[in-house]
A = this chain, B = another copy of it.
Amino acid sequence: MKVLLIGGCGFIGSHVADRLLADGLQVRVYDRRPELFRTPLPGVEYVMGDLADTAQIYEAMSGVDAIIHLVSTTVPSTSNLDPEADITGNLVATVRLLEMMRAAGVRKMIYLSSGGTVYGIPRTDPVAETHPLQPISSYGIVKVAIENYLHMEHHLHGLQHVVLRASNPYGPRQGHTGIQGIIGTHLWRIAKGEQVEVWGDGSIVRDFIHVRDLADLCLAALNSDASGCYNAGYGEGASVNDVVRGIDRTVQATGGAPVVPIYKPGRSFDVPRVVLDITRARTDLGWSPKITLDEGIAESWDWVREQIGNHTH
């Protein structure tokens, strides 16, 4: 099977590429720029281009059997500042992608949606896929609309589609710009001798999934005949304070100083608790997450220190 991996040079995409290669699949990566932390992978065909560049992307899908679409041009925390850019950059671009796939005869798509935003403020704990979709950020609204266009394409034109509603992925190669998730952000700050910042009192609870578990799920979705939406989380919650304590244990175990965060005001778009019910993915796709939060934090810390070491030597 030949797969076009859109966003294959990003944090999640780089792990999905690893997983597909390990499984013997042919991988063509489409992204705006090379990987930040690694040189190009042997055996991978790279095409550089933007999600909005229809001619380039249409050419890139030539001869592929499936597309994994991991790109978002926005992040939850800033999507509300310019909803129009969010709609144009993600919704319109993906609707065009679906039309091109129909024209090119590519009839399978794995799409990375967002378990942390599509449900809005959860009314159940954990949250199953049947929970009402009431997003309160532009990011979540656009994800829901894209999911709906995928369902429509399935219903009217037979696209096989798996929507993965990811919770909070973390792990090696997570960036340090402060928008990709707190674990990476915290670890990078500590490694650079900066203080960790927590929005609110640290009581908000999230479902942190290791990026390799998420990559495994992408492969399981690719190998399955299923169509529909799947929560993609670890299935258990950890508070922001739990994460800080876990990081503190890891850092001190490697000889670092105690981690003492600065607490800053909470953000209006942060919902108090989101933990995903992953029963459907376990049952339909025969997948389960394997890496505990403590293991994942320890591994991520090793990776961050290695990066810092590479840069200072």
Mark A residues whose CB is within 8 Å of B. Answer: 80, 83-84, 87-88, 91-92, 95-96, 120, 130, 132-138, 140-142, 144-145, 148-149, 151-152, 155-156, 268-269
Contact = CB atoms under 8 A, between A and B. Distances in A.
A96 B82 CA distance: 10
Contacts of A92: 84, 87-88
Identify whether the interface residues of A are mostly helix, strand, loop, or mixed: helix
Given A141-B148, A144-B148, A149-B141, A95 B80 contact: no
A275 to B, nearest CB: 21
Contacts of A156: 80, 136, 268-269
A166 to B, nearest CB: 20
A120 B268 CA distance: 32
A155 B88 CA distance: 23
Give 7 nearest A-B pairs by CB, closest first.
A141-B148, A145-B145, A136-B155, A83-B95, A136-B152, A84-B92, A87-B92
A88 B88 CA distance: 8
Contacts of A268: 156
Given A136-B152, A141-B145, A145-B145, 14 more contacts: A83-B95, A83-B149, A84-B95, A87-B87, A91-B91, A132-B132, A133-B133, A136-B156, A137-B152, A138-B152, A142-B145, A144-B144, A144-B145, A156-B268
